[in-house]
Chain A
Amino acid sequence: MINSSSDNVKKLNSINRRMFITGSLKFFIMIGIISRLFFLQVKENKKYLTLSDKNRIREWKLAPVRGEFHDYFGNVIAGNFEAYQLHVIPEQVDDFRYVIYRIKDLLELSDKEFKKVIKKKNEIKSWETLIVSDNLSWQKFSKINNHLYDLNGVKPVISISRNYPYKENFTHLLGYVSQANQNDIERTDSIKKNFVPGLKVGKVGLEKTFEEKLIGTNDIERYEVNAYGRRINQLEFQKGKKGKTLRLTVDTEVQKLANDLLKEKAGSICVMDIYTGAVIAMHSSPSFDPNLFVFGISKDDWQLIRNDPMKPLVNKTLQGNYSPGSTIKPIVALSALENGIINTNFTVKCTGKTEMYDQTYHCWKKKGHGFVSLRNAMKQSCDTYFYEIARKLGVDKLSETAKKFGLGEKVFRDLFDIEKKGLIPNTQWKKNALGKGWLLGETIITGIGQGYIQTTPIQLCLMTAQIANGGYKIYPHIVAGDEAKNKPDDYYTPLYENSKNMRIIKDAMFGSTNEVMGTSYRSRIDDPEYQFAGKTGTAQVKKITERERELDLKTFEIPYEQRDHALYIAFGPYKNPRYALSVIVEHGGNGSTTAAPMATKLFKLIIDRHKIREAMNDKKYLEI
């Protein structure tokens, strides 16, 4: 008994001692867990709260509403329209097969389109939106709406999309929008920032240039999602900003006329305000409907545009490098006058052809013009006269004057990335570019705008404008209000040495249009209100052989690609000039028969529109 109880005491001592050790251990472990909790929940709370929100909140961006383009008078030339679309969320459909076949019947989808939809469906998650059709006609849209009762899970949606109401009229100026690709996203930050699948961005033209301003900002929907990415409920809707609307200086009426005049022809028409540099119209033909690109152009349409021999994809106004032909003559004459090579009394005898440096140079008039002075030579576009003064002037001095008047340089600077510089050759250029010395014969043909010299239609228009305004530097612009913001220092500085020379040139151009024997006499307008002065040009596409010269073929007898380009530059009204234009018709034959008559029609409209334009300005001031 004693033994057993002492054993018990010993055992009890041991167990109590060990209980104490265990108890203390438990206490410290408990403290450890509490401090861990404290660390996670109190100290690091912010970090984990952020992580938890990152888990549960997801943003959905919606495509931003693109800014519009307006013409000078506020007409929408690139706007937005409501596109009727059909969306399906596969998981909300009880019987997907039934519904999709039903839709196929209702929309009369072709097998190809149908396969595309099925493929798209397999690529997305079941709770994501499947866009069955992105641009339905009203008829089909209402048909679907009528059948909604047995199409559950199908959502007819109205979405905002780009629309060009004037179709092909502004295509080259505005460009077009289409789905953004990887390149667009990498190139432009604003596209990257606002990107959503199916976002449409500017591909060329002003749509591309002003992407940053036009794009706007996304609507943002914030949803709470579960671990599988399914939306549980909407937390917030943040309305985005519509892109900026840009008002252009162009006049839709003039633009439409330009489009009509050049229908079925390849070429370009530009009209410009000679004092402000505001572009009134700028058209390149043939054009195409930019609306085709908004939802992705079909293969057939694309092939049609791409393979057109008249090259509708080329913006001829900015990208077309043409020999200016006789339209360069005002500059040649001006250069000769400015440099004191000739005066108004200087005469040359034109016999139809002239021998210089073992080469025969022909005047366009076989019989010759006889004795011609500067004014007559301009009026009748006598080539011989200009051969002679170009020879005397030399190409370097000529190129100096030409460059002063805006040739050989981008007219819009960085506004259009596609714009070409043209080429104003001089001796230095040839040495650098071709590694050969300049030949005198080359100077002679440069005098009538042939040879190396190349200009774009917009350059010719700017040149004409600067002659018309009396020889002052202007900077063309398209966006209204742009000129005030960044007026360069040399804006409206004189480009001439002697203003008398400018008057001589303008007078000679007046003669060319309004006097008998003038090359564009037949296109004149006698009413002084509309009266204009101009200069024709006919640019050879290929060298004329002796045989062809003898044949003296009519334009329609020559194959299309070999016909001459027809050019015309003009400004008007002659008294108090305000507008300058350039017309180029590719392979149009003769400047005086093809291009100049277009100017007549254009000036009639431009000058009528001028009053409305002025009234618009006055009204603007009154409102202030």
Chain B
Amino acid sequence: MYQHTRLTTNRLGFFQKFRNFDYILLFCILILGFISLATMYSTDGGEVLFHTRSHFVKLIVFTFMMLIISFINIKFWFSIGYLTYLAVIGLLIATYLFGITSSGSQRWINLYFINLQPSELMKVFIILCLAKYFHRMKIENVNSIYTILTSLIIIVLPMGLVIVQPDLGTSVLIGISGIAVLWFAGINHKYFIYTVLGFVISLPFIIAFLKPYQKLRVLTFLNPDRDPLGAGYQIIQSKIAVGSGGIFGKGFLKGTQSYLEFLPEKHTDFIFTLFSEEFGFVGSALLLVIYAIIIYRIIAIGASCRSYFAKIFCYSFGVAIFVFITINMSMVLGLLPIVGSPLPIMSYGGSSMLATMIGFGIVMSARVHNQQIIA
């Protein structure tokens, strides 16, 4: 009965919503946005050029978008969970058919006002979709063959569409996002253990099926010095940049590795390298702390939510963000092979920021409407 009364009185006013905001999370996101802007300014060689300007505009637009999303009831996001998933699948198919080819892969689709990378969006919408799928499921049904197969299809379908672009990195990240939901939904842990074991055993076979450039990346990861001017160049230069930063870094706008163009892809995947070179160990650790606070706040919001859907979304999105960050950093620090994966918010790239901001928006919406029960 109590629940029922709450349900009826749950219509929040505009200012109540404002009160419910997680200001720590918002503040961290804004700080991160500011840092990313400064770093982008540095990649442009200390001038406000194309990248800085474009990043700034995106940051402003998407932050507002995030705020708008957070004001919309979490019920709405629950209701469109499947729809968005299908829409992105549609975009992925369209990309496969009419996408724009750039540097050997077909990842972008021209939407007239923006070149969109649907695979980035999928990283978030797959969580939304699966969270909805598991929301109403009874605990005894979770481990049924039917459920597992259905959820696996939901995960594998976009992965397959991304892998043909080809874009192994994003595909893996989509998979991890999906698996995170399965994990929180309560799928028996032995399945996860079996999967990991199976993956390890089949690793040699997977390598056999990899494209030559992907194989090269793995080999290069294992020994960057085998071709220092070719495939190993990126990782070696990245390590030099990070390592030469030292404790306090070379100073803002003074990263020689980046401004003398030794760093590859410094706007996107290797943005952390540049940041780390200029701000050193202290700066990098600070950046990690900001990310840690963001992830902590996402989990805290998840914990405060009454609805299972919001909880599972927050937790999974927290894991996903964490995985994006760690994979990107491990990559530029030479702990993982080079796979294309941007650093959330920091990296240049509209689609990635859009997806991340949508994720943050939904998390914020869950926070604002944390007493909302979804039937």
Contacts and interface: CB of A to CB of B under 8 A. Distances in A.
Interface residues of A, number: 39
Interface string A231-250: 01000000000000000000
B38 to A, nearest CB: 19
Contacts of B315: 15, 19, 22
Contacts of A11: 139, 186, 308
Contacts of A225: 260
Contacts of B285: 34, 37
Interface stretch (A38-46, A67-75, A528-536): A38-46
B242 interface: yes
B288 A51 contact: no
A233 to B, nearest CB: 10
Contacts of B295: 26
A226 interface: yes
Given A42-B246, A42-B281, A51-B240, A19 B299 contact: yes
Contacts of B256: 52, 55-56, 224
Contacts of A15: 184-186, 308, 311-312, 315
Given A37-B285, A38-B281, A227-B262, A49 B244 contact: yes
Interface stretch (B25-33, B79-87, B115-123, B329-337): B329-337
A51 B330 CA distance: 21
B186 A8 contact: no
Contact of B184 (A19, A49, A224): A19
B186 A41 contact: no
19 contacts: A11-B308, A14-B186, A15-B186, A19-B302, A22-B184, A32-B335, A33-B326, A33-B329, A33-B333, A33-B335, A34-B285, A37-B242, A41-B281, A41-B284, A42-B247, A48-B240, A52-B243, A226-B261, A226-B262
Interface of B: 138-139, 180, 183-186, 237, 239-247, 256-257, 260-262, 276, 280-281, 284-285, 288, 292, 295, 299, 302-303, 308, 311-312, 315, 319, 322, 326, 329-330, 333, 335
Contact of B292 (A16, A30, A38): A30
B260 to A, nearest CB: 4
A147 interface: no
A48 B333 CA distance: 13
A304 B303 CA distance: 99
Interface string A55-93: 110000000000000000000000000000000000000
Given A18-B183, A49-B244, A226-B262, 13 more contacts: A11-B186, A11-B308, A19-B299, A22-B315, A33-B333, A40-B239, A41-B243, A41-B280, A47-B243, A48-B239, A51-B243, A56-B257, A225-B260
A225 B259 CA distance: 10
Contacts of B330: 33, 36
A328 B69 CA distance: 116
A10 B186 CA distance: 10
Contacts of A30: 288, 292, 326
Interface in A1-39: 7-8, 10-12, 14-16, 18-19, 22-23, 26, 29-30, 32-34, 36-38
A232 B260 contact: yes
A621 interface: no
B246 A49 contact: yes
Given A34-B285, A41-B247, A224-B260, A18 B240 contact: no
A549 to B, nearest CB: 81
A613 B253 CA distance: 68
Interface-central residue, A8, A22, A37, A44, by most chain B CB under 10 Å: A37
Interface-central residue, A32, A51, A226, by most chain B CB under 10 Å: A51
Contacts of A16: 303
A424 B139 CA distance: 116
B171 to A, nearest CB: 21
Interface-central residue, A8, A12, A18, A44, by most chain B CB under 10 Å: A18
A12 B284 CA distance: 36
A228 interface: yes
